[in-house]
Structure 1
Amino acid sequence: MRSALGEPDARAAVTFLGADRIEVLRFTEDDLVRYATLGMSAQPMSDPTAVLADPVKGPRAELVLTVRRGTGADTDKVLRPLAVLAASPQVEGLVVAPGASLDVGGPLWPGAPFTSVLVAESGGLVEDLELDAPADPVRFLPLLPMTPNEAAWKRVHGAQALQERWLTHGTDLRDPGRASVSLT
């Protein structure tokens, strides 16, 4: 992460009962703030229906959220919700993958119009981190904030359709106060 994002200017750690410690690092560059989890990839994610989890093989990921700063939004309060999402594979047995929706059960930060995120494809901002075989690489998955209406629309029409709608309407997904994209 440091080679792609530089040195973090803040970090916070959260420990959940029955889960490893999760850190959230903050990287600031010009008018952007990036929050990245650290610790989610310590163990591979495994199918919750599997009788025995493989301690080495399986997808590994960290989460990255990018927002614009200077808008008055208190986005630093996203640290705990991000840590909760990063702990969900260990706590709830979720496999976090591109196209998935992750709901935090409330605003991502105080006053945020977003209560969930869409998990996007890796390989953009932070390259995948190759690990020694047979371990899978660590994927750095961007998170795209969704309003409740966008999340409901995505459940019906799919992740690709929502991303196309954002693109068609020129939606600034980094705007921490943006309104929902037109869904009609």
Structure 2
Amino acid sequence: MVDPNSAIWGYGFGREMAKRETEAKRRVRSKAKGFVINLAELKDGLILVEAVNAHNKPARVAQVLMREIYPEPKVSKFLGGIISAVKDGERLPCEWKVSGFNMVNPGELVEVMVKPKRPLKEGYGYEITVAMEQDSKEMPGFVDYVGTPTVYIYSNGKLEGPSGAGRDVVEGKFCINCGAKIPSSAQYCPMCGERQEP
């Protein structure tokens, strides 16, 4: 069977473009933006986060975003199974507070205390983003929140994940779709939701 994209553009061209697009997305994801989380620990229901300013200018923490990632994506079917929607996670509301001064020079640490509105669930992934404000390039006059998301897995009362900026997850493997570093026991990638081969 011939790939429809290849049939349109000549054999192999569609596949080559798909590979280039995937590699471009991987490179974009690997670049650090805004604040990069160095460490996240759970103590007394609070998540203590240390983040480094990876921007080339002084910045302040403008927002902390949390996202709860399901161990397996939830599939909802509509119209007798004709239409289906896949949901791999949802936003987790949280309160946050910066300990100390909020304006941080490039390369310096900032400590943030995060209190999720709901208790963390065993085996779920939690994507934490410490974001700064940046002027929107697409819509002048508006502000974008920019930060590098980091995924932690909650198990045995601890957050397990990357420790140190740029370090890999202990005993990890790479996602077959997006190239993100994931725990070796994961069946689904917490970043893109793609099922992994055993």
TM-score normalised by the chain length of structure 2:
0.29
Q: Which has the higher strand share?
A: 2
Give the structure with the larger helix fraction. Answer: 1
Which of 1 and 2 has greater Rg? Answer: 2
TM (norm. structure 1) is 0.30
